[in-house]
Amino acid sequence: MPKLALYIKADLQGVTDLQPASDDFEWFFKVVCNSCHEEHPKLVSVNRLDSRELSTGHDTANFVWRCSSCKRESSAKFDQLPDKKTLRPYQLAQDRGQDFAPIIVLDCRGLEFVGFEPRGTWKCVGAESGTVFSEVEFEDGEWTDYDEKTKEDVGISAIETKWERLK
pLDDT at 161: 95
d(CA 159, CA 10): 4
At 130-141, the pLDDT tens digits run 999 999 999 899
At 98-156, the pLDDT tens digits run 689 999 999 999 999 999 999 999 999 999 999 999 999 998 999 999 999 999 999 99
Sign of CA dihedral 118, 122, 125, 131: positive
* Residue 133: φ, ψ to 5°: -105, 100
Considering the entire predicted model, what is its pTM?
0.91
pLDDT at 124: 97
Q: Which amino acid is at 90?
A: Y
DSSP β-bridge partners for residue 123? 19
